[in-house]
Amino acid sequence: MATASTTLEVDDLHAGYRGRPVLAGLALAPVRTGTIAALVGPNGAGKSTLLRALCGLVPARGRVGFGGVDLLGLGPGERARHIGFMPQNLPSTAALTVLESVISALKAGAEPASGDARLRALAALHRLGIAHLAMEQLGRLSGGQLQLANLAQAIAREPPLLLLDEPTSALDLHYQLRVIGAVRTLADEGRIVVVVLHDLAFAARWSDHIVVLDKGRLHSQGAPQKVITAAMLRDVYHVEARVERCSNGRIQIMADGLVA
Amino acid sequence: MIDLDSLPRGAGPVPRHAVAHPALDAYDRLLRRRLIILVGLAALMAASLLFDLAMGPAGLPLSTAWAALTGADGVSPTVTVIVWQVRLPIALMALFVGAALSLAGAEMQTILDNPLASPFTLGVSAAASFGAAIAIVLGIGVPFLPPALLVTGNAFLFALGSVLLLQFLSSRSRGGPDSLVLFGIGLAFTFNALLTLVQFVASADALQQVVFWSMGSLARANWPSVAALAVVVAAVAPFALAASWRMTALRLGEERARSYGVNVRRLRAFSLLRISLLTATAMSFVGTIGFVGLVGPHIARMLIGEDHRFFLPASALTGAAVMSLASVASKSVVPGVLLPVGIVTSLIGLPVFFALIMRQRGRA
């Protein structure tokens, strides 16, 4: 588990695919333990690429420090102990039960996790409130239940850094709140969570720190109230909008139309 | 007893029996049930083998076949020779071919993430047929090989080559597993066209041999070929089993598996190597056997799920049983006539293939 002083530091990060660089020299302000950092920005801004680069799924160079370790320099097995990743568009066609899917997360890989995998897997399900679904087939779950099962696979190894790619997209309101509530708890326990979100008001409500990416570059970052402004929406999304701050510190966004 | 709330994070040292939860008991029951299914499949396979030994031009009662097999007293030498020298190699060949093709199909479906992948549908059989055909018709083959092994050797080489070519093409393209499947289909068409070309220039005699070879028949089996295939299956299977957790994780998505630290590229490469060895050896001895590699894994998946520790052995056993039953059917459908077993497997396999496509469409 990360100590209270652990930070995630990204500096001069270059990442992309063969012949198509996406991020060129990205630098982010340090993110501390207990923080949910939301990545927002238009489609193609490089949000998913940033997550993939952090967990070694796309070639990257630069410096990604995490608690004194350079994440980019780690081998795949070592990295898997530090990072839990939840990609977008997960297949649900595997003929596996929920418990088995989490057990395989613990057993596969260069360094299988220690301890009784069945217990660890069940404990992960229990923490997300889905232990009763343990013996259900993945294919039988609703979209929201499936997303919680996916999150359980990502946290089974107790990684101190969680990278989640649009965990709440395509979920109904109930499950959006259940998933983000679980993420909030995971962060409060002493993790860093970096999460891609599309809904800006949702991001502002639930995250502590917002990073706005645009065309592979950092546009702005900071506390939600500071970052989500009419000017940013015009700049990045090309949308005319009013941003209203409610008395409880929450934000409302009313989009009026596209920039002429 | 500890409950889940008080379980320490990471749950390292807590013994399994200290925690009571219905899901843990249910999981243990599930594992036991799978073992029972594996034993049941093995029993079905053994029963089918015995039937296979008893059936033939000289029909034997099951008890006599069993007596001849176990070397009991009072069995006539003729019967012993029929069972041991004629029928047993063929019957065992059916088992090993079924196991090899079905295990190869199961691995293929997992690493390509495509339920329609199999050695037959991805052109490996077509390549083997073409290799056999140029040996038969043009006499072209592996140098320094005894003439008796020319056809077999060529079929092996082309089957192996086609899988390696598939791997090379897909590593060169940007697409994922989907493009590998498309390459496979392209290869199947290419080799079929080349096969037709060779057939066009073949003499009537050679043409007949080529056609017979590509129908797939167990009648060519003998003890050395059975032994060779058995060695390959026995050598390859442990490596497949050793990769079973990584393959199970791959079913959760490639990126997900990679984020656990699984080297997916390596996993795929070694799996393709196993697939090519299994398929090439099996096909070089018996010719084209369609659909066992497709149907076996699907039956296994329905029975046992996709925990590959159980799924891979179940696929091999199912394939062996299906192939053995097809061998029995090939002797009994038309009394007195031994149909090429490749025709029987295709006739059984095609309806299953269509059913799978329909089910897929229904789900999409």
Contact residues on chain A for B177, CB-CB shorter than 8 A:
none
**Which DSSP helix (H) or strand (E) runs through A245?**
strand A239-245
The answer to whether the CB of A100 falls within 8 A of the CB of B305 is yes
A180 to chain B, minimum CA–CA distance in Å? 20
B309 to chain A, minimum CA–CA distance in Å? 11
Radius of gyration for chain A, computed over Cα atoms and rounded to the nearest angstrom? 18
**CA distances for A160 relative to A83, A99, A185, B123, angstroms:** 7, 22, 13, 46
Q: Which of B23, B263, B307 sits opposite A76 (nearest CB)?
A: B263
Strand partners, B13: none
Q: Which of B21, B246, B305 sits opposite A131 (nearest CB)?
A: B21
Q: How far apart are CA B14 and CA B8, in angstroms?
A: 8
Dihedral sign computed on CA atoms, order B86, B88, B91, B97:
negative
The answer to whether the CB of A206 falls within 8 A of the CB of A184 is yes
Contact A1 B9 (CB under 8 A): yes
Burial classification of residue A260, based on how many CB atoms lie within 10 Å of its CB (0-12 exposed, 13-18 middle, 19 or more buried): exposed
**CA distances for B161 relative to B96, B122, B125, angstroms:** 22, 13, 11
Contact A95 B301 (CB under 8 A): yes
Q: How far apart are CA B340 and CA B287, in angstroms?
A: 10
**CA distances for B308 relative to A16, A196, B107, B109, angstroms:** 34, 33, 9, 12
Percent of chain A with pLDDT strictly greater than 90? 69
- Tokens describing residue B256: 């997900």
Substitution target from B7, B33, B173, B252 for chain A, most A beta carbons within 10 A: B252
Q: What φ, ψ does residue A15 adopt, rounded to 5°? A: -155, 155
**A86: closest chain B residue by CA:** B256
Q: Which of A80, A100, A122 sits opposite B260 (nearest CB)?
A: A80
The answer to whether the CB of B280 falls within 8 A of the CB of B229 is no
DSSP annotation of B196: H
Pairing of strands A209-214, A192-196: unpaired
Residue B16 has a pLDDT of: 59
Whether the CB of B356 is below 8 Å from some CB of chain A: the reply is no
The answer to whether the CB of B346 falls within 8 A of the CB of B120 is no
DSSP annotation of A113: P
Pairing of strands A69-70, A60-66: antiparallel
Q: pLDDT per position in chain B (364 positions), as tens? A: 456 666 655 445 556 566 778 999 999 999 999 999 999 999 999 999 999 999 887 778 888 889 888 888 888 888 888 889 889 999 999 999 999 999 999 999 999 888 888 888 888 889 988 998 999 888 887 777 777 778 888 888 998 899 888 878 877 776 666 777 888 889 999 999 999 999 999 999 999 888 888 888 888 889 999 999 999 999 999 999 999 999 999 999 888 999 998 998 899 889 988 998 899 899 888 888 888 998 999 999 989 999 999 999 999 999 999 999 999 988 888 877 888 888 888 887 778 777 877 776 554 4
A171-206 per-residue burial string, b: 16 or more CB within 10 A, e: under 16:
beeebbebbbebbbebbeeebbbbbbbebbbbbbeb
Contact residues on chain B for A86, CB-CB shorter than 8 A:
256
Whether the CB of B362 is below 8 Å from some CB of chain A: the reply is no
Whether the CB of B248 is below 8 Å from some CB of chain A: the reply is yes
Contact residues on chain B for A119, CB-CB shorter than 8 A:
7, 11, 14, 16, 19, 24
- Which segments of chain A does DSSP mark as H helices, in order? 47-54, 76-82, 98-107, 117-127, 143-155, 173-188, 200-206, 224-227, 230-232
Q: Which of A90, A135, A154 sits opposite B23 (nearest CB)?
A: A135
- Across the A:B interface, residue pairs with CB atoms under 8 Å apart total 141
Q: Do you know the residue count of chain A?
A: 260
Closest CA to B55 of B96, B86, B77: B86
Contact B261 A123 (CB under 8 A): no
How many C-beta atoms surround the C-beta of residue B259 within 10 A? 30
Helical packing angle, B177-201 and B124-138, nearest 10°: 20
Substitution target from A119, A120, A128, A150 for chain B, most B beta carbons within 10 A: A119
Q: pLDDT per position in chain A (260 positions), as tens? A: 445 568 999 999 999 887 788 998 999 999 999 999 999 999 989 999 999 999 889 999 999 999 888 999 888 888 888 999 999 866 667 899 999 999 999 998 767 667 788 999 999 999 999 999 999 999 899 989 999 999 999 999 889 999 999 999 888 999 999 999 999 999 999 999 999 999 999 999 999 999 999 999 999 999 999 999 999 999 999 999 999 988 777 888 998 999 87
Residue A32 has a pLDDT of: 93
Q: How far apart are CA B99 and CA B122, in angstroms?
A: 18
Contact residues on chain B for A149, CB-CB shorter than 8 A:
none
Contact residues on chain A for B24, CB-CB shorter than 8 A:
118-119, 122
Residue B59 has a pLDDT of: 79
A60-72 per-residue burial string, b: 16 or more CB within 10 A, e: under 16:
bebebbbbeeebb
Whether the CB of B249 is below 8 Å from some CB of chain A: the reply is yes
Contact B245 A83 (CB under 8 A): no
Contact A119 B261 (CB under 8 A): no
Q: Which of B15, B259, B305 sits opposite A96 (nearest CB)?
A: B305
**B28: closest chain A residue by CA:** A118
C-alpha B87: how far from its chain's center? 21
**CA distances for B284 relative to B200, B216, B237, B352, angstroms:** 22, 10, 19, 25
Q: How far apart are CA A142 and CA B4, in angstroms?
A: 24
Under DSSP, is residue B75 helix (H, G, I), strand (E, B) or coil?
A: coil
Q: How far apart are CA B145 and CA B129, in angstroms?
A: 18
Contact A90 B256 (CB under 8 A): yes
B326 to chain A, minimum CA–CA distance in Å? 27
Q: Which of A52, A118, A158 sits opposite B16 (nearest CB)?
A: A118
**Which DSSP helix (H) or strand (E) runs through B282?**
helix B264-286
Whether the CB of B364 is below 8 Å from some CB of chain A: the reply is no
The answer to whether the CB of A161 falls within 8 A of the CB of A192 is yes
Contact residues on chain B for A134, CB-CB shorter than 8 A:
23, 26-27
DSSP secondary structure string for all residues of B209-278: HHHHHHH--GGG--HHHHHHHHHHHHHHHHHHHHTHHHHHHHTT-HHHHHHTT--HHHHHHHHHHHHHHH
Q: Within 13 Å, how many C-alpha atoms sit on residue B349's CB side?
A: 27
**Which DSSP helix (H) or strand (E) runs through B48?**
helix B22-54
**A94: closest chain B residue by CA:** B251
Q: How far apart are CA A21 and CA A59, in angstroms?
A: 10
Q: pTM of the prediction?
A: 0.90
**CA distances for B107 relative to B34, B101, B276, B319, B324, angstroms:** 19, 10, 11, 13, 21
The answer to whether the CB of B198 falls within 8 A of the CB of B131 is no
Interface confidence (ipTM) of the complex: 0.90
Q: How far apart are CA A225 and CA A228, in angstroms?
A: 6
DSSP secondary structure string for all residues of B160-187: HHHHHHHHHHHHHSS--HHHHHHHHHHH
Contact residues on chain A for B301, CB-CB shorter than 8 A:
95
Residue A4 has a pLDDT of: 53
